[in-house]
Chains A and B, each alone.
Chain A
Amino acid sequence: AEAMATEWNVSVWGKRRAFTEHVEKLAELVSEKTNGEFTMNISYGGLSKNRENLDGISIGAFEMAQFCAGYHRDKNRVITVLELPFLGVSNLEEEVAVSSAVYNHPAAADEMAQWNAKLLMTSPMPQYNIVGTGEVRDELAEFEGMRVRATGGIGEAFKAVGAVPTSVTATEAYQAMESGVVDTVSFAQHAHLSFGTINRADWWTANLNPGTVNCPVVVNIDAYESLSDAEREALDSSVPEALDHYLANYGELLKKWDAVLEEKGVEKVEISDKVLAEFRSKAADPIREAWIKDMEAQGLPGQELYDLVQKTLADQRSGS
């Protein structure tokens, strides 16, 4: 008998952008490798709200989806290790390496299996540096009382030095900046561009590197297991290629970044090592300690996960 064509629905959100290029590439590769037998139908927001993509995977509404760990920490406690502030990740390749190490840890796989989900790949994000209006803030004391749009671990870090993390959605960030609801916004570069915060900014921190968000792409386990061997092989083998494409594409965007800053007249602020060290000691250590304690109390290997991230980073650096 003839093999039946497989069609997967994929739920992402927003518009097609650097952040979704690996998903687009994956769909393209898989279809090529299976001669169009296995196709993916990528929907930008039509199938689910972004914060419910994991629920959608769990009930089998669609077969593949992207979400961010910080949207709902209680749904995905394990991978929030990757959103701790000041992990020390300095480029996208390292972000890919630490993410895949954590994704392969049994604790992460177990927690995702409770949602019927399997972690496929990450959507590597650069460090969430901040743009701001008015006077440059490059001393820790100047963060006191600063209203910053930051979520998850990054928000915690700013809170630790007296700033006020303020919740506005990404789409409202520009408005919030313009209206003075926030003084600064922490985003990856592509988001500063696509949400327009760069147009409003007077300065951008080049090396604050407070941390990033972690946004995995997951597949429904039943759907994955019911793929034919050839289809599964096509999917698995396409992941590294899709990530390479993503990195190359994001690299182009980062190359243009300095030109964008210049064009918009945004000052590039370098924070001194002394201030960075001070920030880290106030924010990184206590938040990490608290996170590990919280995870261990819930029976999750917090310390082990953190050590895994650090070991992977060390390996990655000595290897390259």
Chain B
Amino acid sequence: MSDIEIGLWVTAGMMFLVVLGMRVAFAAGLAGFVGLVWLRWNGFDYDPARFGKAVEISVKIAGQVPHSKVSSQALSLIPTFILIGYLAYYARLTTALFEAAKRWIAWVPGGLAVSTVFATAGFAAVSGASVATAAVFARIGIPEMLAVGYNKRFAAGVVAAGGTLASLIPPSAILVIYAIIVEQDVGKLLLAGFIPGAFSAVVYAGLIVAIAMIFKSVGPPVTGFTWRERLVSLPPALPILAVVVIIIFFVYNPFGEAWGTPTEGGAVGAFIVFIMALLRGMRLRELLDALLETAKLTIMIFTIIWGVLIYVRFLGFADLPHAFADWISSLSAPPMLILICILLAYAVLGMFMDAIGMLLLTLPVVYPAVMALNGGEMVSAADSAFGMSGPMCAIWFGILVVKMAEFCLITPPIGLNCFVVAGVRDDLSVQDVFRGVIPFFIADAVTIALLVAFPAIVLWLPSLAG
């Protein structure tokens, strides 16, 4: 049997275990381990006397992976970003943001909904996790919207959709994971997330205003805030701005020398939010809870990372990604069509799978194929299929798949954000939220189409950083 065939069988086996309900991290790790044994024993021509040797070598290869892959400075961004989110919560930044957004922009049609979208976008700048963002704003935003007569479903849809912004706008754990898997510059990817994230927020806001103008009953404007009230609402929300500025300036300073590396920027941002939380009266008990929750989420993510990387190590020995990339680039269909098919496949897969698990399981094979489609990792913009250099294509594709993964947080049947919003509100069923979020599918589809058609939206900022 050829190595490629073994690679395909093992991959099928892994998918089977995942569907069976085995924890994703361990299904991937087991598949990788079994694959390593199979590959090696196949190399020994299935000599029974050498089976033990094949197992021993494979055990030792697999046993290196957890320590080896986890000990990375770049990956230290993940716990830091998760910690920032929990601390920001205890620093009461969410309510401060919503208050400020309300006083400044609620006068437009659909004003409170627009405020909620911008407040979630702002919170996204300190939170790496979409689901938590949706949970928090379901509690803050929905009651206010209902109080001024918003449609219940629509209000729920706004929060569920707004929550998805957290993974595009840095800090974003999922973008860091993408960068690590495909071995690209973390800083540039984080920079690349800003504009598409803000762009998504603007598209959401535009949609809300349009709906509110057509259907007057959906969301009336809220007026009557004095300039004084507006001004006093700003200081409590300022730390968000500080964190955004710090992270940008650590990665790329438009006025001169940048301040450091992204990893340092993340940690210093966390430090500032921590001080803020202390000033707002965070208790030791709350800090310990935040640390325990940070550990739980961090370990969950890292377990998938090393589990999947055992599988990736096996793929390396089986040379499967290479074969798949060759196959994809040998197809006669136009590269753009193939790329769109890949994105659609993510939309379908994402309906059933967790975003991080989905990206980790597929990227090792899909990413080299997309790069090959563009003309190779080092291709120049002039010779490429998508009109961008290899490294830029890596960034563009990263933002696209992360946006796809976010999209899947609001699609049935497992749109996690919708479940969270329904879970927080006793008066809303999951069906209500799914119905309310439908307009935002359209907004997301438009956003993704624009990101595909105009890659400059994604690539302008990172290209400034050299």
Contacts and interface: CB of A to CB of B under 8 A. Distances in A.
A168 B187 CA distance: 14
B466 A61 contact: no
Interface in A33-58: 41, 43, 45-49, 52, 55-56
Nearest to A49: B68
Contacts of A52: 64, 68
Interface in B80-111: none
Interface string B263-288: 00000000000000000000000000
Contact of A60 (B57, B185, B260, B378): B57
A130 interface: no
A59 interface: yes
Contact of B258 (A41, A49, A180): A180
B57 A169 contact: no
A303 interface: no
B73 A179 contact: no
B317 A59 contact: no
A180 B258 CA distance: 7
A178 B258 contact: yes
Contacts of B466: 174, 178, 199
A179 B261 contact: yes
B257 interface: yes
A48 B253 CA distance: 35
B69 interface: yes
Contact of A15 (B57, B185, B378): B378
A308 interface: no
Contacts of B317: 9, 46-47
A212 to B, nearest CB: 25
Given A55-B64, A179-B261, A49 B57 contact: no
Interface in A173-187: 174-176, 178-181
B60 A61 contact: yes
Nearest to A51: B68
Nearest to A178: B258
A172 to B, nearest CB: 7
Nearest to B69: A49
B260 A179 contact: yes
B149 interface: no
B115 to A, nearest CB: 36
B261 A181 contact: yes
Q: How large is the interface on B (under 10, 10 to 19, 20 to 34, 35 or more residues)?
A: 20 to 34
Contacts of B73: 169
Contact of B259 (A46, A61, A179): A179
Interface in A153-182: 168-169, 171-172, 174-176, 178-181
Contacts of B61: 56, 59, 61
B153 interface: no
A179 B263 CA distance: 13
Contacts of A15: 377-378
B60 A59 contact: yes
B316 interface: yes
Contacts of B315: 46
Interface string B384-414: 0000000000000000000000000000000
B419 interface: no
B430 to A, nearest CB: 43
Nearest to B60: A59
B250 interface: yes
A199 B60 CA distance: 42
Contacts of A43: 316
A47 B313 contact: yes
B317 to A, nearest CB: 6
B258 to A, nearest CB: 4
A179 B57 contact: no
A56 B57 CA distance: 9
Interface in B319-350: 319
B257 A59 contact: no
A86 B377 CA distance: 38
B182 to A, nearest CB: 12
B250 A179 contact: yes
A175 B253 CA distance: 12
Contacts of A45: 183
A149 to B, nearest CB: 12
A171 B73 CA distance: 12
Nearest to B321: A46
Nearest to B184: A171
Contacts of A179: 250, 253, 257-261
B261 A59 contact: no
A43 B322 CA distance: 11
A44 B250 CA distance: 31
A55 B69 CA distance: 14
Nearest to A58: B60
Contacts of A172: 261
A199 B69 CA distance: 31
B310 to A, nearest CB: 13
A178 B316 contact: no
Interface string A97-137: 00000000000000000000000000000000000000000
A175 B69 contact: no
Nearest to A167: B73
A180 B250 CA distance: 10
B68 A47 contact: no
Contact of B261 (A49, A61, A175): A175
Contacts of A174: 466
B259 to A, nearest CB: 6
A229 to B, nearest CB: 22
B222 to A, nearest CB: 43
A77 to B, nearest CB: 22
B311 to A, nearest CB: 13
B265 to A, nearest CB: 10
Interface string B138-164: 000000000000000000000000000
7 contacts: A15-B378, A46-B315, A49-B69, A59-B60, A60-B57, A179-B257, A179-B258
Given A61-B57, A176-B261, 16 more contacts: A15-B377, A43-B316, A46-B319, A47-B313, A47-B316, A48-B64, A55-B64, A59-B60, A172-B261, A174-B466, A175-B261, A179-B257, A179-B258, A179-B260, A179-B261, A181-B260
Closest A-B pairs by Cβ, 9 of them: A46-B316, A179-B258, A59-B60, A180-B257, A61-B61, A49-B68, A60-B57, A47-B316, A179-B260
Interface of B: 57, 60-61, 64, 68-69, 73, 183, 185, 187, 250, 253, 257-261, 313, 315-317, 319, 377-378, 466
